Chain A
Amino acid sequence: MKFGKFFALRVLTWALTIWIGVTFIFFIPRMFPSDPVESMIGQIQSRSGQMDPVQLETLRRSLRLQFGLEGSLLEQYGTFLWKGLLHFDFGPSLMSYPTSVGEIISTYLPYTLILSLTTTTLAWIIGNLIGLQAGFRKNKRSSKIMEGIAICIYPIPYFIIALILQIVFAFILGWFPLQSTINNSGGFALFISSIIRASILPAISLLMVGTGWWIISMKSLSGTTAEDDFVLYARYRGLSEGKIGKNYVFRNSILTQITALAMSLGGAFNGSIMTEIIFGYPGVGTLIQKAILQSDYNMILGCITISIVAISTATLIVDVIYPFIDPRIRYN
């Protein structure tokens, strides 16, 4: 019963978040004085010379239709919610006309999902394990060194780390290709090996920043937990340090870190976008960059809507799993 209420509330917030986010991205472009259709027409005319007025009017009408700019604001909003949000239909992409935006995104999205999900999970696990050691054995030299390294890496923006790794390992040492290329034509084994080769540097840069944060936060969490009364009591009972660390400190601190994981997903996604762009990794980030360069607004809108839905859903999943892990909530 209690879980049912929690679940319903959480799903409601999820829907609200997506709705507010999507409403936001619907109204923002309409608040700006620049009209994407007029700028498109300007671009077309500068490429192909002047057109006669009748042609121009037809072009304008069909572009307005494709951008979802026909009808009253309320009608446009309705169509946008119905087609975009519920069917992921954002019309044709303008940079690779007439392929639909949804089709292109669906070929790029898996790469981003694989990269960001694996690195986020790995960073969380590795960072928390190291952080636990560093917090539980505060006064050891290795703990201080680990924390020092984490503090010097975590605050640096993702793309700077990516840029440094690219310059050192791809350009100076030449161990990796400068730009990721995926080999689609040479059979399955070659395809997989090219994906791995293209992912190593982006994955390492995402891991470095992510792990840094989890080390820092887990160290301070487990440091405070290790001084709690129940840990002191466990020591008086003569339990081994390993057992105290595992059963008392770890299990109590990791709960907070699960909630923190849910809060951090948006930031991790931002980082993934930036890292992809530096390495030219074929994910949503690179797609967004291409779309910006060619003013493909349908594509930009599509990528952003899908990002918002994906991150909100991932956050929802982590939040909903939480009661199943925390015994204090489960048994109440």
Chain B
Amino acid sequence: MKKFWNNANSRLKAGLIITSFFIILGFGVYYIPHINPFSYNTYPAKLNPSWSHLLGTTSMGQDIFWLLIEAIHNSLMIGLIVALIGTVVGVFVGLLAGFSGGVLDRVLTVVTDTFVVIPSLPILVLMTALMKGTSTVIMMALVLAMFAWAWPSRQIRSLALSIKERDFIHTAWFSGEGTIQIVVTEILPFALTWSLSNFMNATLAAIASESSLAVLGLSPANLISLGNMIQWARARNAIFARQWFWIGSPIVATVLLFVGLFLLITGYNDYLSMKRGR
């Protein structure tokens, strides 16, 4: 661990620090007992920040700090679920296409390429508009995952194609290992290091899509997410009332979270290529 930290570049370090900060907020502080921040008129409205309300309260008397913690938790959860589904499906489809070859490969490649090029937001808009009012967090995650598998699948396929011809695969083949065993023991480890960086990327993309849909009013109405929190503040005229902590805290949190995750991704990629000696 200490060796890793000494070898890490400054971006990876900064990314790790910011991301862990958010993980602590979203999965640690979140579990400290607190009153459901969603319910109205729990506290006096429009309070300024103080020790009892770190970020003040909204004009509906909600505690902004706990609203923010809940939002970070839910946004991270959606991001992680979508990234998990997208990466698993993407790796599976990519390996299948790369190793099967022939007609199956061609069909899978065309479908994958279509999903890479197709503008996702309009289709997400259509689906969530149809679910308006009835959608749940799980449905939301599933819908977002539909567009999360194509890019990793495409990358994994080309990775599989390049690995397939390497010597150690031939060696494994001639020493009598089956195709599935080769894929699991020889190729998956390769795919996994790559998948980690894709996983973080997909998390970022999913949180961004969810918050974009939230601004359109298409995220589940009872879901406290970063996007919804911004949208509620906008809809209740927090900007005109100059309630900067209300509109500002989810914006600052989103900016920090995204920059942190992005630093983590690029830092991790640099770290990997440095380890490979390039």
A residues lining the B interface (CB < 8 Å): 13, 16-17, 20-21, 24-25, 28-29, 32, 34, 151-152, 154-160, 163-164, 167, 171, 216, 263, 266, 269-270, 273-274, 277-278, 288-289, 292-293, 295, 297, 300-301, 303-304, 307-308, 311-312, 315
CB distance from A202 to the nearest CB of B (A): 14
Q: Quick check: B117 and A311 within 8 Å, CB to CB?
A: yes
What CA separation (Å) do A157 and B257 show in the bound complex? 11
In the complex, per-residue mask of B98-130: 1 if CB is within 8 Å of any chain A CB, else 0: 000000000000110110111111110111011
Q: Quick check: B255 and A24 within 8 Å, CB to CB?
A: no
CB distance from B127 to the nearest CB of A (A): 6
Q: Quick check: B212 and A157 within 8 Å, CB to CB?
A: yes
Q: Quick check: B239 and A20 within 8 Å, CB to CB?
A: no
Q: Which 7 A-B pairs have the closest CB atoms?
A: A155-B262, A270-B121, A304-B122, A155-B258, A157-B208, A266-B119, A32-B130
What CA separation (Å) do A329 and B244 show in the bound complex? 55
Q: List 19 A-B contacts (CB under 8 A).
A: A13-B110, A16-B114, A20-B111, A21-B123, A32-B130, A155-B262, A157-B254, A160-B230, A164-B251, A263-B116, A266-B119, A266-B120, A288-B125, A288-B216, A292-B125, A292-B129, A304-B122, A307-B119, A308-B122
Give chain B interface residues in 179-215, CB to chain A under 8 Å: 204, 208, 211-212, 215
Q: Quick check: B262 and A308 within 8 Å, CB to CB?
A: no
What B residues does A29 contact at CB under 8 A?
A: 126, 130
- Given A17-B118, A159-B215, A292-B218, verify A24-B259 contact (CB < 8 Å): no
- Given A20-B111, A155-B258, A277-B216, verify A312-B123 contact (CB < 8 Å): no
Further contacts, 13 of them, CB under 8 A, given A28-B123, A157-B254: A20-B118, A156-B258, A157-B208, A159-B215, A160-B254, A274-B121, A288-B125, A288-B216, A289-B216, A292-B129, A292-B218, A300-B125, A308-B122
Q: Quick check: A292 and B113 within 8 Å, CB to CB?
A: no
What CA separation (Å) do A270 and B262 show in the bound complex? 20
What CA separation (Å) do A89 and B140 show in the bound complex? 31
Q: Quick check: B254 and A311 within 8 Å, CB to CB?
A: no
Q: Quick check: A300 and B119 within 8 Å, CB to CB?
A: no
B residues lining the A interface (CB < 8 Å): 11, 110-111, 113-114, 116-123, 125-127, 129-132, 134, 204, 208, 211-212, 215-218, 230, 234, 239-240, 247, 251, 254-255, 258-259, 261-263, 266
CB distance from A116 to the nearest CB of B (A): 11
Q: Which residue of B lies closest to A315 (CB)?
A: B117
What A residues does B118 contact at CB under 8 A?
A: 17, 20-21, 24, 266, 308, 311-312
- Given A154-B262, A159-B212, A171-B239, verify A28-B119 contact (CB < 8 Å): no
Q: Quick check: B212 and A274 within 8 Å, CB to CB?
A: yes
Q: Which residue of B lies closest to A32 (CB)?
A: B130
From A25, A155, A163, A312, contact of B126 by CB (8 A): A25
Q: Quick check: A16 and B110 within 8 Å, CB to CB?
A: yes
What CA separation (Å) do A40 and B130 show in the bound complex? 13
From B114, B234, B263, contact of A20 by CB (8 A): B114
What CA separation (Å) do A125 and B254 show in the bound complex? 28
What CA separation (Å) do A293 and B218 show in the bound complex? 10
Q: Quick check: A155 and B204 within 8 Å, CB to CB?
A: yes
What B residues does A21 contact at CB under 8 A?
A: 114, 118, 123
- Given A159-B212, A277-B215, verify A13-B255 contact (CB < 8 Å): no
What CA separation (Å) do A20 and B255 show in the bound complex? 35
Q: Which residue of A lies closest to B14 (CB)?
A: A151
CB distance from A44 to the nearest CB of B (A): 18
What A residues does B254 contact at CB under 8 A?
A: 156-157, 160
What CA separation (Å) do A151 and B259 show in the bound complex? 7
What CA separation (Å) do A300 and B130 show in the bound complex? 11
What CA separation (Å) do A274 and B227 show in the bound complex? 13
Q: Quick check: B126 and A17 within 8 Å, CB to CB?
A: no
Q: Which residue of B lies closest to A170 (CB)?
A: B239
Q: Which of B111, B113, B116, B212 is the most central at the interface, judged by chain A CB atoms within 10 Å of its CB?
A: B212
Q: Which residue of B lies closest to A278 (CB)?
A: B215
